[in-house]
Structure 1
Amino acid sequence: MKIKIIKLFLITFIINFAFAQTQDELNLLRLAQSFERAGEYERALKIYEELYNNNPTNRVYLEAIVRLNTQTKNYDRAIKLAQSWLSSHPDDIDMMARLGDVNFKAGNEKEAIEIWDKIVKTYRNNPGIYRMVADYLIQNRLYDKAIQYLTTAQKIAGVPELYSFEIAMLYEFTMRFDKAVEEYIKILRRTPSMIPSVKSRMSSYINRSDVLKQILPILESEAKVSKSNIGILDLYTWVLMEAKDYQKALEIQTQLDKVTYANGEVLLNFARDLFNQGIYHIALKAYASIIENYPNSKILAEAKFGAIRSNEEMLRLRFNTIENPDSIFYSELRKVESDYLKISNEYPGTKYEAEALFRLGLIKLDFYFDLDQAQRYFEEVEKKFMLSHGKDAVLKLAEVFTLKGDLESAREKYLYLMKLKNFPDTLRVKFLLAQLDYYEGNFNAAIKTLEEISKFTSSDFSNDAIELILKIQSNRFPSEENLKKMALAELKIKQKRFTEAISLLETIISTCSNCPITDDAIFTVSKTYEMLKKFDKAIEYLEILLNGHPESIYADDALMEKGKIYQKLGKNELAIDAYTKLISQFPNSIFVNEARKRIRELRGELQ
């Protein structure tokens, strides 16, 4: 019995002793790893060597010693350790590859290449070995050699897309984007669903014109072969969009819609993207294709509405760039209005009726400044579609009331919106309420609201609020009367009552020539005359501002406007003179880059 107890005691002692040794060794390993992570390589190396001396068969310790000797550029020591290990472990391929790595870093490039070549030659039928060795080549920026190994691995495996992501990356490193795309094509041929990963990899350089020239012919050729591969067609469309070849992109999307039996869904998504990017003419074609080819589709209503919206947006672009819209323009606009009325009747009680009526209100407001008709449409939306589109309609109604001069009704609409639960545009409405107080001369109330808005520094309205606060505070003295005239004049301008606005502004200028508000009034009256196309009077007041108030914060604005007016009148030399003065006198102005561009345009230096 005693003997058994003694044996049990001895066994327990031995196990505990061994465990203690193992735990101590593990603690030392963790300490070494901690030093290594902290960059204290000498301290880490000392512990690793102690561990290795106590356990010379432990490859983890050896690898750490080789690694740290390489890190500290003690290449001879690292090479000797690796060679010693390989003499007794000749099949340790990774250590052999690491030996090549150390030799290369030590400047023994020929020896390194020979070692790596020997490995892949020995294991010529194993693609994984090529991949492992290629990693060391990549670490040493031997990209072409790595590509050679990886493409050989593809052939050995009989899998064309094997390691294609890695090969594509190496081609990208070496600026051979055409070759990179060929590798991505291999991936998409086998797995079209990898398109998000491919796009993600290419996104960093796809906007470069030189790259587009390299890869477009390759994708065009591939698309002719892979006519039903959704990954290839999607990639080709994406690249065409970056190259701004929108018509060709539409053709490919039409093809993609057919091969996926999408019944117009692919085209609809493409049309939406085009519309959101402002490419309205091609969006219109996409919508029209859906209407023509899928007349019974569930997406027909959206396609019809999208086509009308595209036409409207194209007219808006023209409206903002032409001086006097002609009868042809208004004929096209009436066609859009007719189409909105038609779709509102075709889909009563739906979002299409609501949006059509709302768009009609916007057209009456923005194109015709027909406040009564705009009000009628917005009120109809408010009445029939309050839950879905009513908030936008109420917001526009408040604007219409402001333009009509009915500020009290406008205020009621804004306050109504403020009471709505989860209304998303609270700051916008608060700012508009502060503007109403400003127009009415209630400056203290305006400032109180504006200060609340200014606290939301991430909002665009915060800057607008601060700007209006400064305007009020800077111009209230010596009397608020001129500021009230100024605020009222700004309201008159918004209401297109330009003559009344000019009268108020010229009163400020004539009665208070040295007041802080005067330069603001001069610049504003100049802009108002420009709206009336009375360019001589506009220039006259800009000269008054520049000569009489050279220190004004509007001085650079004045030079910019002066140049634009002269450019509009075809007086290019005078325009160039104004832009040149702006650049020389106000080198830090936000208008400097635009002024330089306009000078180059006028001199014919820009195509």
Structure 2
Amino acid sequence: MNNKRYFILFLFLCAILFGQNKASINASIKTAKMLERRGDVDGAIAIYEAVLFKDPKNHRTIRDLKSLFKKNQRYEDGIHFIRERLIHSPNDIQLYSELGEFHFLNDQQNEAKAVWVAGTEKFKNNRSYYRIMVSLYGRFSLDQEMLSLLDTGREKFGQSFMAYEAGIYYQTRRVYDKAMDQFILHLSHEPKQNGIIQRRILLMSDDEDAVPIIEKKLKIASQEYPEILLNVLSEFYFKQQEYDRAFDVKKEGSKSGKPNLNDWLAFANECRKEGQYEVSIEAYNFILGYKINSNMAGKALLGLAQTFEDQIIPAHESHLIPYFFDNNLFFEDPFQVNSSISPEHLESSLALYDSLLISLPKSPLLAEAYFRLGEIKYRILQDFDQAYALLHKAMQNKPDKKLRLKITLRIADVLMAKGQAKEAMGFLERQLKRNYLPAIEQKKILVHFLTDEPDSTLKIVQSSFLSLSPVDPSFNDLMELKNILTQYYENDSSGKLAFLHFIKAEWYLRQRKIGDAIKEFQYLAEEMPGAKIIPLANLRKGLLHYRLKEYDKALVLALALDGTPLADRGIILAGQLYETKILDMEKAMEQ
């Protein structure tokens, strides 16, 4: 028991002495740093040497002292110091390289090279020594010495040894042909590190001078190593925005072995993001041409649908002001889009797409793929029956909550487009019973507005404010709808009838019947010219003519708003027409 107590006491005293010694050393190092900053180099050296006398293996002091010798060009002192260290640490590879470095800095190049050659012989089986020396040779631009060292190392460790590091060395010096030789050498022997080399090559291609060199080197090397380098060449062409060549080269590379379909999917997605839709479609179809699992097939089909959808561009006119409740969910036009592909081509592409969906096993991405296909059928092709069928398939494939809401709202839109108001109302009521969501309630209000008596709609709108916060995104939309109902739905029979004709025109617009809507507005203006809603109806009609590029008719209606509560909008619309469509700047300035 006493022996154990004495042992613990001994350890405790040793810890105290060690702590004191460490604290003393740290204080000495701080003093040396202070003297160094003041310019007292000799004083700093003396303190560092005293610390090393107490603690010969204090790495921080050794590092700081070598740094001090270099910084103050005390190369002879550095050489003497490192030679002394080597006596006690003859196998320290860092010391060997640094001894040669001090000789080199001291203009003793022969001595430096002799030390480095001796080190290479001594540590010829040590990879770390080669890495240290390649970095050092690079710093001093000793190209021949570096190549000689690499030859020695590659005899020991393989032909691609340190090719990546050598490539970076040449790249930083803009010696692009040699950099490419090293990168290709690395890739040919270490294909699993394709990613890091590819990123380096693509980074190098930012320099215009490097582009023709990279292309030439890759084209030559890809003939010998097609399965490795054709994909790199494809990525190079992609970055140069030569998308067709990127696709062709990638396809050629797939002939030499089993294609990496994940890589192909990434390529197709990137082409789509770059707006290269034809190349993107070809890439997705390439993937779908293979026997693949349902998850990969679902991703490819979803990407294909997104490619079609991305070509459907919202046809938002850059108006000077919001003329008619722009972005209000009760007056928005879901069909106001353009497509950069012809309906015929779109139909044939979608037929292929639909057949692939039918043959596809269950996939978690099917719901979204069906939804996107339904969107195109609804918004572009106005094939409402097909859109309805596809949206129901989307609903049956277990969409997540966010997608389910989108599908629900679009099904209601499709039913309205088919003129089936009762079916739309019934569908929305069933969905609300299942899961109450404000967006579904607002879509239900839209159906009421377009098909019910205005008095009934107004009561529903007013009651909805009881459960709606003013910060809710739909609050302003509902307030605008309420204002229209209270402002334009007059008490007399003529005013009520006029409002019903206005609503009927809006109902036609929801069915993509623009011509019928214009006729309804025209009938309203001719038969009930004194109705309060006439200026609003004329503005709406004028904007429809604007969309149809019937600018003269739109201008007549804009000018007809003079003297009405909407005169300011008429003036601005007329000015915009004169300036941007009719191209009469003099008339535009008069507005």
Specify the TM-score bucket, using the shorter chain as the normaliser: 0.5 to 0.7
Q: Which residue of 1 aligns with 2:279?
A: 282
> In the alignment, is the contact (CA less than 8 A) between 1:171 and 1:179 conserved in 2?
yes
Q: Distance in 2 between matches of 1:136 and 1:434?
A: 76
Q: State the one-letter code of the partner of 1:245.
A: E
* Range with greater deviation from structure 2 (47-56 or 348-357): 348-357
> In the alignment, is the contact (CA less than 8 A) between 1:357 and 1:378 conserved in 2?
yes
Q: Which residue of 1 aligns with 2:258?
A: 261
Q: Which residue of 2 aligns with 1:481?
A: 487
Q: Which residue of 1 aligns with 2:518?
A: 499
CA displacement, residues 176-225 of structure 1 (integer Å, 9 cap, x when unaligned): 55544433322221111112333454565656766544422221211111
Match of 2:378 among 342, 351, 365: 365
- Are the structure 2 counterparts of residues 340 and 227 from structure 1 closer, same or farther at C-alpha, using a change threshold of 3 Å? closer
Match of 2:240 among 243, 259, 264: 243
1:25 equivalent in alignment to 2:2: no
Q: Which residue of 1 aligns with 2:549?
A: 533
Deviation at 1:60, TM superposition (A): 2.4
Deviation at 1:226, TM superposition (A): 0.5
Identity within the alignment, %: 14
Deviation at 1:351, TM superposition (A): 8.3
Q: Which residue of 2 aligns with 1:123?
A: 119
Q: Which residue of 1 aligns with 2:197?
A: 198
> In the alignment, is the contact (CA less than 8 A) between 1:319 and 1:325 conserved in 2?
yes
Deviation at 1:52, TM superposition (A): 3.9
Summarize the alignment of residues 170-569 of structure 1 with structure 2, pairs less than 5 Å apart.
Answer: 170-177=169-176, 179-201=178-200, 211-229=210-228, 232-261=229-258, 271=268, 274=271, 278-286=275-283, 297-298=291-292, 317=311, 329-336=342-349, 338-339=351-352, 342-343=355-356, 361-379=374-392, 382=395, 385=397, 393-401=407-415, 403=417, 465=473, 481=487, 495-496=511-512, 497=514, 498-499=517-518, 527-538=543-554, 565=581
Match of 2:152 among 150, 156, 170: 156
- Are the structure 2 counterparts of residues 433 and 212 from structure 1 closer, same or farther at C-alpha, using a change threshold of 3 Å? farther
Q: Distance in 2 between matches of 1:207 and 1:433?
A: 55
Which secondary structure state, in structure 1, belongs to the residue aligned with residue 238 of structure 2? helix
CA displacement, residues 29-60 of structure 1 (integer Å, 9 cap, x when unaligned): 5678899999x9789x9999656415424452
Q: Distance in 2 between matches of 1:336 and 1:134?
A: 56
Q: Distance in 2 between matches of 1:469 and 1:155?
A: 75
> In the alignment, is the contact (CA less than 8 A) between 2:374 and 2:388 conserved in 1?
yes
- Are the structure 2 counterparts of residues 153 and 470 from structure 1 closer, same or farther at C-alpha, using a change threshold of 3 Å? farther
**TM-score w.r.t. structure 1 length?**
0.61
Deviation at 1:527, TM superposition (A): 4.2
> In the alignment, is the contact (CA less than 8 A) between 2:227 and 2:254 conserved in 1?
no
Structure 2 alignment gaps of length 5 or more? 316-335, 451-456, 491-498
Q: Which residue of 2 aligns with 1:584?
A: none
> In the alignment, is the contact (CA less than 8 A) between 1:360 and 1:377 conserved in 2?
yes
- Are the structure 2 counterparts of residues 16 and 378 from structure 1 closer, same or farther at C-alpha, using a change threshold of 3 Å? closer
Q: Distance in 2 between matches of 1:525 and 1:21?
A: 95
Q: Distance in 2 between matches of 1:332 and 1:270?
A: 23
> In the alignment, is the contact (CA less than 8 A) between 1:169 and 1:180 conserved in 2?
yes
- Are the structure 2 counterparts of residues 162 and 255 from structure 1 closer, same or farther at C-alpha, using a change threshold of 3 Å? same
- Are the structure 2 counterparts of residues 419 and 247 from structure 1 closer, same or farther at C-alpha, using a change threshold of 3 Å? farther
Q: State the one-letter code of the partner of 2:152.
A: I
1:86 equivalent in alignment to 2:92: no
Larger CA Rg, structure 1 vs 2: 2
Deviation at 1:386, TM superposition (A): 5.2
Q: Give the CA RMSD over aligned residues.
A: 6.4
- Are the structure 2 counterparts of residues 12 and 213 from structure 1 closer, same or farther at C-alpha, using a change threshold of 3 Å? same
Q: Which has the higher contact order (CA 8 A, sep 6+)?
A: 2
Q: Distance in 2 between matches of 1:479 and 1:495?
A: 22
CA displacement, residues 413-471 of structure 1 (integer Å, 9 cap, x when unaligned): 567667879x9xx89768867988999667667778885876xxxxxxxxxx3xx6567
Q: Distance in 1 between matches of 2:294 and 2:419?
A: 42
Q: State the one-letter code of the partner of 1:168.
A: G
CA displacement, residues 289-332 of structure 1 (integer Å, 9 cap, x when unaligned): 5677x6xx3569987996898599569848989x9999x94544
**TM-score w.r.t. structure 2 length?**
0.62
- Are the structure 2 counterparts of residues 386 and 189 from structure 1 closer, same or farther at C-alpha, using a change threshold of 3 Å? closer
Which secondary structure state, in structure 2, belongs to the residue aligned with residue 145 of structure 1? coil
Deviation at 1:98, TM superposition (A): 4.9
Which secondary structure state, in structure 1, belongs to the residue aligned with residue 226 of structure 2? coil
CA displacement, residues 109-160 of structure 1 (integer Å, 9 cap, x when unaligned): 673877754543443444754532454576xxx4x71666544432121244
Q: Distance in 1 between matches of 2:446 and 2:64?
A: 73
CA displacement, residues 223-262 of structure 1 (integer Å, 9 cap, x when unaligned): 1110233xx2332222222223334333443344343335
Q: Distance in 2 between matches of 1:417 and 1:29?
A: 77
Q: Distance in 2 between matches of 1:554 and 1:133?
A: 79
> In the alignment, is the contact (CA less than 8 A) between 1:257 and 1:264 conserved in 2?
no
Q: Which residue of 2 aligns with 1:132?
A: 132
Deviation at 1:531, TM superposition (A): 1.3
> In the alignment, is the contact (CA less than 8 A) between 1:401 and 1:409 conserved in 2?
yes
Q: Distance in 1 between matches of 2:57 and 2:117?
A: 28
Q: State the one-letter code of the partner of 1:536.
A: D
Which secondary structure state, in structure 2, belongs to the residue aligned with residue 111 of structure 1? coil
Q: Distance in 1 between matches of 2:573 and 2:116?
A: 70
Q: State the one-letter code of the partner of 2:240.
A: A
